[in-house]
Amino acid sequence: MTDTPAANFLSDPFDDDKLREECGVYGVFGMDEAANFVALGLHALQHRGQEAAGIVSYTPDTGFNTVRRLGYVRDHFTKQSVMDILPGRMAIGHTRYSTAGSKGQTALRDVQPLYADFAMGGCAIAHNGNITNADALRSQLIDRGSIFQSASDTECIVHLMARSIQKNIPDRMKDALRIVEGAFSVIAMTRSKLIGVRDPMGVRPLVLGRRGEGWILSSETCALDIIGAEFVREIEPGEMVIITSSGLESLRPFEDRDPRFCVFEYVYFSRPDSVIGGLSVYEARRRIGVELAREAPVEADLVCPVPDSGTPAAIGFSQASGIPYAMGIIKNQYVGRTFIEPTEQIRDMGVRLKLNINRAVVAGKRVVLVDDSVVRGTTSRKIKDMMLDAGAKEVHFRIASPPTKWPCFYGVDTPEREKLLAARMSEDEIRTYLQVDSLRFISLDGLYRACGNPAGRNVAEPQFCDACFSGEYPIEPTDARARGCMKLPEDA
Ligand code: SF4
């Protein structure tokens, strides 16, 4: 294993006001230099986690080889000296954003893939999602003698596999994953198998691809495109696939549940060039803009996106409303993570470091600003101030998601409920707080329509997970309820 020392990161200050996906996973089977393809795939999934990345490869000669590093994929996995450590025709990788509790102190021991030696051979595991009963499982496992080496919830899967009496690794994984609750898209690799599993509700994405004789598992289709792989299909909710040199076997190890894919993947997390459930993410976002223009029309001169994730919805809003589209805000593509200490002065500059108002375009205009979400509201307020400073006559916000009122427990970093603006304020109060001329969020029904459900949200059996908007949690958040630190709708 090759390690780098822990470092202090200052997260992108703009992103403090966004929900953040915590992980992307990628696996390759049966391709020369598999780790190089995994590195490219992880690079395409970098938006799903920017704090750390890891790759494990396997060859019969060298066994399992691991490199886990803090920082961007490109910081490490472009170097020949690093890739030389990762030979073989099989590899899996993971890119990670740490949870709020460990932000700023990312520990290398938490970086995935995790690796464990079992009596029947080694196994590397990479997980996207969150185990909602991990605290309870961890304390039970520790009571029974397990020694944890990381703070990662994923390690519970490893210890549960170690305690299983099954004779092979896939069966041990089945045993372990039947005990854990929550959202998981897991990729695992043994000496001869690449395994992919999705939780019974399929909350987080996982897709299957092919390139020549090789197989690929990936969080998103955009990471198949980067290596020229063909999209085969999605791994279905509750499905386990086992890929060997003989081909692919599909199993159904869990009880059937109604799927509840994360609707926020369409709004923000996934890349717009990915396809989910047969619907392009870009097209879903554009349709959200169309729905918003119908639900919340406004008289204005320009429609401008808050870049980048507001862009397709702004295009849709412009198309449906007839109001001209313009780039009223320009994003500096080169501001990201820095290694400088976060002084107050620099924090205040956060939004300006990343976004600048295109004064020549907005001066004297009534501007509709389309953003993907309002989380804490701090960025929206600063953008509005910058717009007015640049001479905009009116500022109208249109938001491509319903008010974010509840925390996510399924693999997305969310501020505590009290810090979610919409948990404390009505839409009108938020408008007053932001001091904008008007503010409207898309309705849940409008969002569902845009995401391929023309009749809107099925109230009895919603087609997606939308808990952060509705407070209806499809999977019991066991640990959060036990901690009592985040009030849930029933407790409120
Ligand atoms: S709570 Fe929100 S962010 Fe979390 S999985 Fe559900 S829809 Fe996605």
C-beta neighbour count of 228 within 10 angstroms: 11
User: What pLDDT score was predicted for residue 121?
Assistant: 95
CA 262 to ligand 1 center in whole angstroms: 5
**Which atom in ligand 1 lies closest to the alpha carbon of residue 409?**
4
Tell me which residue has its CA closest to atom 2 in ligand 1.
Answer: 468
CA 475 to ligand 1 center in whole angstroms: 11
CA 413 to ligand 1 center in whole angstroms: 10
Annotated binding site: 262, 309, 371-372, 408, 465, 468
Any atom of ligand 1 within 6 Å of the Cβ of 203: yes
Structure confidence by residue, pLDDT tens digits, 301-349: 999 999 988 999 999 999 999 999 999 999 887 765 444 445 556 656 7
Tell me which residue has its CA closest to atom 8 in ligand 1.
Answer: 262
Distance CA 203, CA 127 (A): 13
Any atom of ligand 1 within 6 Å of the Cβ of 264: yes
Q: Mutation test of ligand 1: which of 465, 469, 472, 488 has the most ligand atoms closer than 8 Å to its C-beta?
A: 465
Per-residue model confidence as pLDDT tens for the chain (492 residues): 333 333 333 344 445 567 776 799 999 999 999 999 999 999 999 999 989 999 999 999 999 999 999 999 999 999 999 999 999 999 999 999 865 335 445 688 999 999 999 999 999 999 999 999 999 999 999 999 999 999 999 999 999 999 999 999 999 999 999 999 999 999 999 999 999 999 999 999 999 999 999 999 999 999 999 999 999 999 999 999 999 999 999 999 999 999 999 999 999 999 999 999 999 999 999 999 999 999 999 999 999 999 988 999 999 999 999 999 999 999 887 765 444 445 556 656 777 878 899 999 999 999 999 999 998 888 899 999 999 999 999 999 999 999 999 999 999 888 778 889 999 999 999 999 999 999 999 999 999 999 999 999 999 999 999 999 999 999 999 998 888 755 656 554
- The fold for domain 280-491 equals Rossmann fold (3.40.50)
Any atom of ligand 1 within 6 Å of the Cβ of 468: yes
CA distances from 166 to 114, 147, 161, 242, 252 (A): 20, 21, 9, 16, 17
Any atom of ligand 1 within 6 Å of the Cβ of 447: no
Pairing of strands 214-218, 23-29: antiparallel
Q: Mutation test of ligand 1: which of 198, 263, 409 has the most ligand atoms closer than 8 Å to its C-beta?
A: 263
Distance CA 370, CA 314 (A): 5
CA 471 to ligand 1 center in whole angstroms: 10
| Residue pair 242/251 in contact by the 8 Å Cβ criterion | yes
CA 139 to ligand 1 center in whole angstroms: 26
CA 56 to ligand 1 center in whole angstroms: 29
Tell me which residue has its CA closest to atom 5 in ligand 1.
Answer: 262
Distance, C-alpha 490 to centroid of its chain? 27
Any atom of ligand 1 within 6 Å of the Cβ of 465: yes
Any atom of ligand 1 within 6 Å of the Cβ of 372: no
Structure confidence by residue, pLDDT tens digits, 239-276: 999 999 999 999 999 999 999 999 999 999 999 999 99
Any atom of ligand 1 within 6 Å of the Cβ of 422: no
Catalytic residues: 23
- List residues bridging with 27 in a β-sheet: 92, 217
**How many helices (DSSP H) and strands (DSSP E) are in the chain?**
18, 25
Annotated binding site for [4Fe-4S] cluster: 262, 408, 465, 468
Q: Mutation test of ligand 1: which of 468, 472, 473, 476 has the most ligand atoms closer than 8 Å to its C-beta?
A: 468
CA 201 to ligand 1 center in whole angstroms: 12
Q: Where are the domains of the chain?
A: 13-259, 280-491
Any atom of ligand 1 within 6 Å of the Cβ of 201: no
Annotated binding site for Mg(2+): 309, 371-372
For residue 371, give the nearest of 285, 470, 471 by alpha carbon. 285
Distance CA 210, CA 472 (A): 37
CA pseudo-torsion sign 43, 49, 54, 55: negative
Which three-class secondary structure state does DSSP give residue 258?
coil
C-beta neighbour count of 165 within 10 angstroms: 7
The position carrying tokens 């702004």 is 314
- Give every CB contact of residue 148 below 8 A, 6+ residues apart in sequence: 138, 141, 142, 155, 159
Distance CA 368, CA 439 (A): 9
Any atom of ligand 1 within 6 Å of the Cβ of 73: no
Of the candidate CATH numbers 1.20.1300.10, 3.60.20.10, 2.60.40.10, 3.40.30.10, the domain formed by 13-259 belongs to: 3.60.20.10
**Which atom in ligand 1 lies closest to the alpha carbon of residue 183?**
5
Q: Mutation test of ligand 1: which of 408, 447, 470, 488 has the most ligand atoms closer than 8 Å to its C-beta?
A: 408
Distance CA 36, CA 48 (A): 19
Any atom of ligand 1 within 6 Å of the Cβ of 467: yes
Which three-class secondary structure state does DSSP give residue 489?
coil
Any atom of ligand 1 within 6 Å of the Cβ of 28: no
| Residue pair 320/289 in contact by the 8 Å Cβ criterion | yes
For residue 92, give the nearest of 135, 156, 137, 39 by alpha carbon. 39
The answer to whether the peptide bond before residue 297 is cis (omega within 30 degrees of 0) is no
CA distances from 128 to 11, 29, 98, 187, 385 (A): 20, 19, 12, 9, 37
Distance CA 275, CA 285 (A): 12
Phi, then psi, of 342 in degrees rounded to 5: -80, 85
- Give every CB contact of residue 190 below 8 A, 6+ residues apart in sequence: 121, 122, 123, 169
**Which atom in ligand 1 lies closest to the alpha carbon of residue 262?**
8
Any atom of ligand 1 within 6 Å of the Cβ of 184: no
CA 403 to ligand 1 center in whole angstroms: 13
| Residue pair 153/134 in contact by the 8 Å Cβ criterion | yes
Structure confidence by residue, pLDDT tens digits, 393-412: 999 999 999 999 999 999 98
3-state helix, strand, coil in the chain (%, to 5): 30, 25, 40
CA 331 to ligand 1 center in whole angstroms: 27
Pairing of strands 275-276, 207-211: unpaired
Largest pairwise CA distance in the chain: 72
Distance CA 492, CA 178 (A): 30
